[in-house]
Amino acid sequence: MISLVIQAGGRSSRMGTDKGLVQLGDRPMIEHVLAATAGLADEQLITTNNPAGYAHLGVPMTGDEQPGAGALPGLRTALGAARGELVLLVACDMPFLQRPVLQKLLDLADGQDVVVPRWDGQLQTLHAVYRRQPCRGGGAGTGAEADDQLLRPGPGP
């Protein structure tokens, strides 16, 4: 089973408003994300601290366990709430997701615990696939130490 988790729990401090609800064309950014990912997963879930803002979507939601703590604690929340063995994680402010890229990430996840693409030397942790059970604790420890362990490079396919 594959779970799609859209992270929409950020503070949007630079933008000043909830990024997922910013209009792009005729609809909010998160609706572009939902359209791009439709049918890729057996389950959809939004992690957010603004459930009222996303209620109109009819997608199950969960609140961040550590609100305002960043993307990796949000990932831990997602891994705890998702039911699928594989979790396709994307952010609410990615309206131009490419379905073939997402499908390739899912294909590469066969036999892997984590598939995180690298773009211009940077890991794209909010455009990735995580195997729920091995990643669920985020590594031993808490905070930055656990985050570092979760994303430590290992052998790739």
pLDDT tens for each residue of 20-53: 898 999 999 999 999 999 999 999 999 988 889 9
What per-residue string of b and e applies to 147-156 under the rule 16 or more CB within 10 Å gives b? beebbeeeee
Distances (CA, A) of 55 to 45, 46, 49, 130, 153: 12, 10, 12, 26, 37
Total count of domains within the chain: 1
Is 85 within a domain? Answer: yes
Range 59-67 contact pairs with CB under 8 angstroms and sequence separation of 24 or more = 59/6, 59/34, 63/9, 64/9, 67/9
pLDDT at site 33: 96
80: in domain: yes
- Kindly report, residue by residue over 112-122, the tens digit of the pLDDT: 999 999 889 88
DSSP 93: T
Q: Is residue 157 part of a domain?
A: no
Residue 100 in any domain: the answer is: yes
pLDDT category of residue 18 using cuts at 50, 70 and 90: confident
Beta-bridge mates of residue 119: 122
Q: Euclidean distance between the first and final Cα of the chain, in Å? A: 21
Which pLDDT band holds residue 146 (cuts at 50, 70, 90)? very low
Q: Hunting for tokens 């890991």 — which residue is that? A: 123
Asked if residue 52 belongs to a domain, the reply is yes
Given a cut of 90, whether residue 106 has pLDDT beyond it is yes
Q: What is the CATH number of the domain that holds 110?
A: 3.90.550.10
Q: Residue 155 falls within a domain, yes or no? A: no
Domain that includes residue 38, residue range: 2-150
Domain-located, residue 22: yes
**Domain annotation covers residue 14:** yes
